[in-house]
Amino acid sequence: MSEWLERLRNLVRTQDRTPDSEQSRRVEAALLDRALFSSEVRLLDGVLAAIGSDPVDPRTLEHLIGALKSPRLGELTEDEADGHLSFWRTLAARHPGDPVLDAHLADVEMVIGDAGAGLRRFVDVFDRKPELFVEFGWDLEDDARAAGGDLLFRWQLHHLRWFLHAAAEHIEGGEEARELYGELLDEYRDDPDRLARLHPLGEEIHRLEVAGDLPRAMVLRRRRRPREG
């Protein structure tokens, strides 16, 4: 990972340790006792019981992410995978519209559920809370390109916005923003509706250039994509 991208990710991470809560202590205890549960599904039921009916607090979410979301998700049995999906869907359903929980559900769906549904959920999340793109969005390019259509375009808009954010925060990204914008103008040159959605980002690039946050460029560099057919 490039140094500037790591610095960008740090912009949206909590710098101080989230304090413990009664809920997080209950959940931590259940997770530490996972060997006492007869199965992974039973463990998840126990963790849900430990969470209780209150909203999931930040420290509890840290425990859940650390213990339940890991590379081993891809090694689960079918029943265990169904249990994990049900667990995150239950949490998301308790807090409808919570973009953070929706993002973690989408992440689990991408690994062990319906990847198409996960991608759609991710893009919806980025529309509601764009800063989550830097935590989750960078690894979705292949999936977005495979999906194509509006999902791809919406993902590309968020991709470009983050390069602009990096430039505005003086974490580099200016050349990338300019070049990517040019590529998208080429890619959608025959689509006036999408060009209209791109133009405000071009205006933002110009504003950053005028403000000195981007080097001025006499010519916008583009890598032209060949036309099909």
Tens-place pLDDT, residues 102-134: 999 999 999 898 999 999 999 999 999 998 998
Given a cut of 70, is residue 192 above it in pLDDT?
yes
Task: Judge if 181 and 142 occupy the same domain.
Answer: no
Task: Judge if 101 and 163 occupy the same domain.
Answer: no
Task: Judge if 176 and 126 occupy the same domain.
Answer: no
Strands (E) located in the chain: none
Task: Let me know if residue 209 belongs to a domain.
Answer: yes
Task: Judge if 195 and 220 occupy the same domain.
Answer: yes
pLDDT at residue 23, rounded to an integer: 95
Residue 110 near residue 119 (C-beta atoms within 8 A) = yes
User: In which residue are the tokens 């914008």 written?
Assistant: 181
Higher pLDDT, 171 or 223: 171
Task: Judge if 113 and 178 occupy the same domain.
Answer: no
Task: Judge if 127 and 152 occupy the same domain.
Answer: no
Domain that holds residue 207: 148-229
139 token code pair: 């690894």
Mean residue pLDDT across the chain: 83
Task: Let me know if residue 152 belongs to a domain.
Answer: yes
Given a cut of 80, is residue 225 above it in pLDDT?
no
Higher pLDDT, 166 or 16: 166
Half-sphere exposure of 216 (CA within 13 A, CB side): 4
Task: Judge if 226 and 154 occupy the same domain.
Answer: yes
What's the structural domain count of the chain? 2
Is the model's pTM score more than 0.75? yes
Task: Judge if 126 and 156 occupy the same domain.
Answer: no
Task: Judge if 172 and 127 occupy the same domain.
Answer: no
Least confidently predicted of 59-68, 95-104, 123-132, 166-175: 166-175
Given a cut of 70, is residue 13 above it in pLDDT?
no
Task: Let me know if residue 188 belongs to a domain.
Answer: yes
Task: Judge if 169 and 223 occupy the same domain.
Answer: yes
Task: Let me know if residue 208 belongs to a domain.
Answer: yes
* C-alpha 166: how far from chain center: 16
pLDDT at residue 69, rounded to an integer: 82
Task: Judge if 120 and 196 occupy the same domain.
Answer: no
